[in-house]
Structure 1
Amino acid sequence: MTITLTQKENRELWAEANYNSLQQAEAEPFEILCELPKRLGKGYVRHIEVHPDLWLSILDYEYHNDVLYKIPEWDHPLQFCVLLSGRIVDEYGGQLGEGYTCISGSGVQRQITLELSKTRYVGVDIHLSADLLATFFPDEAGEIPLQLHFLTKGNDSQTLLYPETTTAIQGIAQQIINCPFQRITKQMYLQTKVLELMTLQLAPILSAQDGLQPSPRLKAETIARIHLAREILLARLENPPSLLELAQIVGVSDRTLQRGFQELFGTTAFSYLTKKRMEWAEQLLRQGNMTIAEVGNKIGYSHLGHFASAFKRRFGITPSQSLIGKKSFSG
């Protein structure tokens, strides 16, 4: 049996299950213990504030059934996840657990469905404001380093990465779960370990940037196939293939295609496609020969509202404002 939950339904279940427990005295003043709703399974999530705007969640629970978790488009915070047990798979081929961690950048997360199995989940989940990157890893001017800008997309589509799990990452996650300290010492210890875990997850990505080469893990033939995939997207902006279709066309797995786009072009295939579509839409609007609806349909958006939202995230103004601005300028 599979249970399907929307983000709203899931939040309501957790809120109802923990209405009373939240009133209980906690082991630490900076911790909140939440029980998994009994309808879903058994276990808990322990939320710990290790720094203002930086929360660590330690989870240990088991589902009674397989779960499909449907998440709408929303503004996502910066997130780092490691699972020591269990696996979460998204509809686009991404996988957390069983060999892979997850870095979910701040920005707009597209609508996505997650598959969670009837199994035990043990791991850690870190949520923080993207602005904290300037606090923990400042550049010479005290700003977020250029190398980390891919984690802060604002109103643009977020960066979503699945770095491989290493022995070191597993060790730090286990140390976090089994923290031996209490009170302020515990908070200090966990803050240090959280930063260490984030660093280990980011290390291979930053090393690839500093190496001035595409990636030591991608063969020359694979790099050529990823470039071909990009050319196909550019040629088919109006009616692009799905990620799986594109991977099949160029002869790589969908996971290799995702990783290759990120390592070669610094973004996901979806974000790259959206960016190019919006640039094309702006050009069409500037020409002033088409209505907004016609432009939206031309670049592959059947829903005018979705097109307007994507356009505003990209340029900070609506298609109507862009069109009016062009006509006013021309006049």
Structure 2
Amino acid sequence: MTLTFTQSDWNDLWESTTSATYGFDDFETLSSLPSRLGNGCSRAIDLAPGLFLSLTDWQCERDWVVQVAAHDHPIQLGVFLSGVLDAKGAHPTLGNGRAYFSGSGISPSYAEHWYGGQRMLVVNVELEPERLDQWLGEEQVQSITRSLLCKGQDWKASFYPKQTNAMRSLALQIWNPPYQGAARRMYLQAKVWELLAMQIDLLTADQAGNLSTPKLKPDTIARLHYAREILTQNLEHSPLLSEVARQVGVSERTLRRGFQVLFGLTPLEYLTRQRLHRAQELLQTGECTVTEVARTVGYAHLGHFADTFKRQFGITPGACVGRN
């Protein structure tokens, strides 16, 4: 049975079942995962004013969901060395080669899904936007921080970079620092800034993509929502994009570009995600076979369905059957 927590319930669970203790250094605390969920701990490391690092090492023994309310969000970077984290529509499944990089601003509410039977090894960095201002020149602050990474009271911008070998190598160095005490803290600061610099460099190199987000007219936004509804309602026999574009009254180019801008996904990525989430729901009921579910959500090739499902959720379709 999947446990579901509100944000308040989640906070209360941690406060009532874990006790934070200092780690090897006085700027670090350890918190144990509540035993009803699994075992392991998280290290919270205060690297500098406005710069925080956490290292999560959890062996999840059951499924749980945390309902996260809308909240103020710092600049954040997450690298997943093991395991996957699923927000079911708020963003793509994280892990399996996909990292998370977000600017500051307001985060919408979402449901965070953690799956049993997996080990989570996550390097997470949080940075207050004022701290970044101190490290960037005025010109860069205007072009990067103000326009992208610091949204104030607007919705934050999120990105899902591929976890390159260089990114993973840096994350592993952060996970296993060779020093203790003040030297360890200095080492971690340097590696965290290097990891952040790597992401900012990738974003600035992609000015024609993520950073230059075109404005969408209200009428176009409404048509794109209509297109998304059409795709959602036709998972088994999805229409061609040209047909969807014609039906909602936009060009196919506008449909592709607008979908990416508005929803952060291409139409195909969105359709794939919806198919897989529908498949997960059907499998969890235990009332259908894997083959029946694959056909229901539009996969004619069972092997392709199984491979795609495992990349998304970290488990095979068979392991998901009857798993509520």
**Normalising by structure 2, what TM-score?**
0.66
Separation in 2, partners of 1:243, 1:120 = 37
Separation in 2, partners of 1:239, 1:268 = 15
Label 1:88 to 1:243 Cα distance change in 2 as closer, same or farther (>3 A): farther
- Higher alpha-carbon deviation: 40-49 or 144-153: 144-153
Separation in 1, partners of 2:157, 2:106 = 9
Separation in 2, partners of 1:168, 1:65 = 32
Is 1:62 the counterpart of 2:59? The answer is: yes
- Cα distance, 1:204 vs structure 2: 2.3
- Cα distance, 1:145 vs structure 2: 3.9
- Cα distance, 1:14 vs structure 2: 1.4
- Counterpart residue type for residue 42 of structure 1: N
Task: Please point out which of 228, 241, 259 is paired with 1:251.
Answer: 241
Separation in 2, partners of 1:243, 1:72 = 28
Separation in 2, partners of 1:243, 1:95 = 23
Number of aligned residue pairs: 244
Q: Secondary structure at the match of 2:41?
A: strand
Residues 171-204 of structure 1, C-alpha deviations (whole Å, 9 max, x = no match): 0000000011111111110001001111223332
Question: Which position in structure 2 is the counterpart of 1:269?
Answer: 262
Question: Which position in structure 2 is the counterpart of 1:30?
Answer: 27
Q: Secondary structure at the match of 1:181?
A: coil
- Counterpart residue type for residue 7 of structure 1: Q
- Counterpart residue type for residue 138 of structure 2: D
Separation in 2, partners of 1:137, 1:244 = 43
- Counterpart residue type for residue 90 of structure 1: A
Q: Secondary structure at the match of 2:26?
A: coil
- Cα distance, 1:208 vs structure 2: 1.1
- Cα distance, 1:80 vs structure 2: 0.6
Correspondence 1:115-264 to 2 at 5 A:
115-118=113-116, 119-139=118-138, 144-148=141-145, 149-209=147-207, 213-214=208-209, 233-236=220-223, 241=228, 245=232, 251=241
Question: Which position in structure 1 is the counterpart of 2:12?
Answer: 12
Separation in 2, partners of 1:158, 1:250 = 32
Label 1:53 to 1:264 Cα distance change in 2 as closer, same or farther (>3 A): farther
Separation in 1, partners of 2:184, 2:231 = 45
Task: Please point out which of 98, 102, 105 is paired with 2:103.
Answer: 105
Separation in 1, partners of 2:60, 2:131 = 33
Separation in 1, partners of 2:36, 2:88 = 24
- Cα distance, 1:136 vs structure 2: 2.3
Question: Which position in structure 2 is the counterpart of 1:94?
Answer: 92
Residues 157-181 of structure 1, C-alpha deviations (whole Å, 9 max, x = no match): 1111111110000000000000111
- Cα distance, 1:77 vs structure 2: 1.5
- Cα distance, 1:26 vs structure 2: 3.6
**Normalising by structure 1, what TM-score?**
0.65
Separation in 2, partners of 1:121, 1:180 = 22
1:31·1:48 contact (CA, 8 Å) conserved in 2? yes
Q: Structure 1 unaligned runs (5+)? A: 216-225, 253-259, 272-331
Q: Structure 2 unaligned runs (5+)? A: 243-252, 265-324
Label 1:32 to 1:268 Cα distance change in 2 as closer, same or farther (>3 A): farther
Label 1:250 to 1:135 Cα distance change in 2 as closer, same or farther (>3 A): farther
- Cα distance, 1:243 vs structure 2: 10
- Cα distance, 1:68 vs structure 2: 1.7
1:134·1:145 contact (CA, 8 Å) conserved in 2? no
What is the RMSD of the two structures over their aligned residues, measured on CA atoms? 3.4
Separation in 2, partners of 1:4, 1:173 = 30
- Higher alpha-carbon deviation: 103-112 or 233-242: 233-242
- Cα distance, 1:135 vs structure 2: 1.6
Task: Please point out which of 44, 48, 62 is paired with 2:41.
Answer: 44
Residues 222-270 of structure 1, C-alpha deviations (whole Å, 9 max, x = no match): xxxx99x988743448978459649977739xxxxxxx99x978x9515
Residues 24-63 of structure 1, C-alpha deviations (whole Å, 9 max, x = no match): 4542111111111112110000011111111100110111
Separation in 2, partners of 1:231, 1:42 = 48
Q: Secondary structure at the match of 2:141?
A: coil
1:36·1:42 contact (CA, 8 Å) conserved in 2? yes
2:22·2:30 contact (CA, 8 Å) conserved in 1? no
